[in-house]
Structure formats: structure tokens, C-alpha cells
Chains A and B, each alone.
Chain A
Amino acid sequence: MYDAWKILVGLAIFLGLFTFAFWMNAGKAAPVPEVKIDTPEIKKMPEPERKCVEDKHFMRTTHMQLINHWRDQALRDGDREYVNKKGEKYVISLQNTCIKCHSNKKEFCDKCHDYAGVSPYCWDCHIVPPEEPKEEPKGNEL
């Protein structure tokens, strides 16, 4: 091969760039995030009533479009009534409907958003729900 070292350096850079993800992940496991739906508000509800506004698959895939649509409907059209696929009515409100149950942003929203590298701008306007005060073991008093 002519100019072998130049070409080999180039090929090494090429291979390094394209297999970058493999090296970064070598020997690491990437556990799938598990969201927590054990907030006090959800626990208060009897088992059969523990449902979101739409079914699980729809919420997992399309909640961002639903919420975006809710924003436009509530804030631009002033219409705060949502009728879901089953005909049930809900009040359109992030604070009073979504977060009433899902009050655990860190364990619910952020888990998947961080995993998928998504940075929604909900909290540019909305107040981040206060996290439940956790019963942390008291540190030593020193």
C-alpha cells in the first residue's frame, strides 16, 4: 500500500468514529428505566380506578402530543374539557389533572425523558411539583 500510514490513520479514525458507541458502552449494561406510579394520590384510589386519561400504549407513545394539544385548547381556545376515546370527561390541566396523580416528577417524567434524551419545556412555565418529603435516614449530627 502506498502512503500506508496516512491511510491507516484515516481508517482508524473512521472505524473509531463509527464504533464509538460500542466502546462507550463496553462492559456496561443499560437498564431500561422503570417509572414509579406509587404516589400517595394513586395509592388512595381503588385498584380498578387507577387509570390515566387514555390507555397505556397511547400515553407512552403520544402523551407529548396530547399535552401539547391540551395547552393549545386550554390556553388559546379557553376550552378546558377533554373527552377521551371512551367518552369520559377530564379537566384539561397539567397541574390539576396530570400532576395530581403523577406528583413524582423525578421518578416519573424525568426517568424516561433523561433516558431518551428529551428535554421538554413544560417547566419553563409550570411549577415543578414539590417532591414528596422522603424519610431519609438522619445523618450523624457531627
Chain B
Amino acid sequence: MGVKVSLGVSLGAVLAIVAVALVGGGVASLQPVFGIIVPYAAFVIFLVGFVYRVVDWGRSPVPYRIPTTCGQQKSLPWIKHDKIENPSSTLGVIGRMILEVFAFRSLFRHTKAEMASGNIVYGASKWIWLGALVFHYSFLVIAVRHLRLFLEPVPFLINGLDLVDGMFQIGAPTLYLTDLLLIGALSYLLARRLIVPKMRYISLANDYFPLFLILGIGISGVLMRFFIRVDIVSVKELTMGLATLHPVMPEGIGAIFFVHVALVSTLFAYFPFSKLMHAGGVFLSPGRNLSNTSRAKMHVNPWEYPVKIHPYEEYENEFREKMKNAGIPVERE
């Protein structure tokens, strides 16, 4: 697919969801569909799909050690071993995984290739690492903040997080820093795919779609908080109904809320089938989660079977007469 098709398909899909929710959310009789049934269905698809994908990966055999090594392997005592970048023990793997999951270590290693006076040179390029880190942590804080709508009474820590996120007290309701950071980081991640020719070349609709989707979630949320206000108490009545498994549909919630919920539901339902499964996949990456004991230990393929071999000696025994008749030299007469 060309870039125009990819962009068109992914942006079109997000806009179609927005349009459907905007129309459906405005019709009172359809509101329970968009407010209760779709979110529940999406959440179930998410949980079941996520577990299915992880179990599926878990069933795949990884008989040999295939970590991506990024440092000196453990060898002789006077050669300094890089315990985290080339772990030889479970402890080292845990350290490596913590760095990978919480700090995106492998992305920090990102380099950029450029032609300089006829030579290709590689230089550090940390922007993608920074953008990804800002995006993921902002999204995490936003998700945790939303627990205020699903817990009653609201726990102290959630209220505290809310206060810290809105600490500059800009406007009322206060502007959340993570809202700015999320939309900023997503815009960067999208612009990167569109502007850098190499990125544009390898970007597909399934790269653009999650970006547009999460941008849509962020923008609809910001719109709802600052510009097209909805009654938060009615919203919490709905969300608490979902969380207590006694769903209710309060009246008078604006259509913008259903747009937000439809986009979030799409994200949940789409998650297990998409590249977003890297959330679970990072833990099951044999390139990351295996210690490098390829030399230190004997690794035997557990389902190895005896291979039927036919050595030259047997071959010659079988065909000696025919070979002699054809004038082909033989090793033993």
C-alpha cells in the first residue's frame, strides 16, 4: 500500500468510528449500546484475546538460547563480563527486562545512518526513545487517573496523582500535563512516520491506525474536559455501573462522551490482534528474556529424533559394482 492509501484507510476508519458514535450517542435508545454493550464486549475481547496471544506464544518452543547480545559474554575471569547487556544468570535477565520494560533500553540504542563526505556514518538518535517514553508514561498516568471514575470512594493515591498532573492549576478544570505530553508525543511519532522518507516507506496502515486512534482518544478527552463539557457525575454513574456489574444508563450525557468511549472500546478490541501486543510480547521475547548460556551449558533440542543417515561408505557398498562398471573410482575394491 502506498502512503496515501495507508493514511486514508487508517484515518478513515477512525473518523468512521467517530461518526457512528456521534450519531448513535445522540440517540437515547442507542446510548446503552455505546455506553454499556460495546465497552463490555470490547473489554472481554481484550482480556480473552490478550491471554490467548500470550498462551499461544508460550506454547511455541524455544529450545536454544537466542538472546540478542549487546555486551561481553561471560567467559574467562579476567575478561569483564557485561552482566546486563549479555546476562548469564536469571538475575541479569531480570535486570535487563526491568531496563527494557521501564526504560525502553533497546530503543535507547537507536542510531541514525547518514552519508557524510561519501561515507556512511552512524550517530546516536535519542528522539524516538524520548518520544516513545513520554507517550507510554503519559498514557499510563492517564489510564490510572481514569480509575477515579471506576472506584468509589476515590483512593487517596488517585486523587494525589490527579493533583500532581494538574499542578500548574491552569484553568478550571485544571489542565493535565499528561494530556499535553500525550498529544505532543503522538504528534511527534506520527510526524516521524510521515516526514522521514525511510519511515514513510516502511509504515503501513496498521502503524498509522493506532496513532490516529489514540490521538482521537486524547483529543476527544481534551474536548470533553475543556470545550464540550459533559456532566461528570452522570459519567461516573455510568462507569460505576459498569464497574459494579450493575450497568445503568444515566440521561443527558453528551455525544462527545460516546465518541471517547467508542474509540477506547476500539482500542481495547483491536489490541490483541495488532502490533500493540508488544505490551505482552516484550515479556515473551526470547531475544530479551533468555540468559546467554549457549556455551556454558549443553542445550539439547528436546524433541530431536535420530536422523536417518547414509554415509559414503554404505553408499559405495550399495553401488560398488555399478560404479566399477561405469569406470567411477571406488575407495575399496
Could you tell me which A residues sit within 8 Å of B by CB distance? 1-4, 7, 10-11, 14-15, 18-22, 24-25, 28-30, 32-33, 57, 60-62, 64-65, 67-68, 112, 114-121
Contact = CB atoms under 8 A, between A and B. Distances in A.
Contact of A1 (B46, B55, B147, B232): B55
Nearest to B244: A25
Contacts of B229: 61-62, 65
Contact of B154 (A4, A19, A33, A114): A114
29 contacts: A2-B61, A2-B62, A7-B55, A10-B54, A14-B50, A18-B47, A20-B147, A21-B147, A21-B150, A21-B151, A25-B152, A28-B244, A29-B244, A30-B240, A30-B244, A32-B236, A32-B237, A60-B233, A61-B232, A64-B172, A65-B172, A67-B172, A112-B233, A116-B148, A117-B148, A117-B149, A117-B158, A118-B173, A118-B232
Contacts of B162: 117-119
A61 B230 contact: yes
Contact of A33 (B149, B233, B250, B280): B233
B171 A30 contact: no
B261 to A, nearest CB: 15
A70 to B, nearest CB: 10
A62 to B, nearest CB: 5
Nearest to B283: A10
B243 interface: yes
B169 interface: yes
Interface in B229-266: 229-233, 236-237, 240-241, 243-246, 250, 252
Nearest to B246: A29
Contacts of B123: none
Interface string B130-161: 00000000000000000111111110001100
B119 to A, nearest CB: 45
Nearest to B280: A14
Contact of B159 (A7, A32, A64, A119): A119
B239 to A, nearest CB: 9
Contacts of A118: 162, 173, 232
A25 B233 contact: no
Contacts of B148: 116-117
B330 interface: no
B27 interface: no
Nearest to A62: B229
Contacts of B283: 10
A119 B163 CA distance: 7
Contacts of A24: 151, 243
A32 B244 CA distance: 13
B151 A15 contact: no
